[in-house]
Amino acid sequence: MSHNESQIKDEFFQDVEKYPYKTVSHALQIILRALIQNYGIDGETGQLVDMHRFGIYEPIAVKMQSIKTAFE
């Protein structure tokens, strides 16, 4: 998104209308931060490991459906 588009969107929404968007953005940032902090940690040993070696994969479809469900 260009800087001009961002300015137009900021001007388009009134202050009160921005709260839901800012709240969702903040919540998604918290989730992302938690995922980054816990990425690749073996829960039994506490060691950093390659999750692919353990056959652990997180499909994007599951995450997308979780977000869609949260907004229903």
Enter the pTM of the model.
Answer: 0.43
- Report the domain count for the chain: 1
The predicted pLDDT at position 6 comes to 55
pLDDT digits over 15-62, tens only? 777 788 888 888 888 888 887 776 777 878 888 888 788 887 777 788
Q: What is the 3-state secondary structure (H, E, C) of the chain?
A: CCHHHHHHHHHHCCHHHHHHHHHHHHHHHHHHHHHHHHCCECCCCCCECCCCCCCCCCCHHHHHHHHHHHCC
Q: Quick check: 7 pLDDT over 70?
A: no
20 is in which domain, residue-wise?
A: 3-70
The predicted pLDDT at position 18 comes to 78
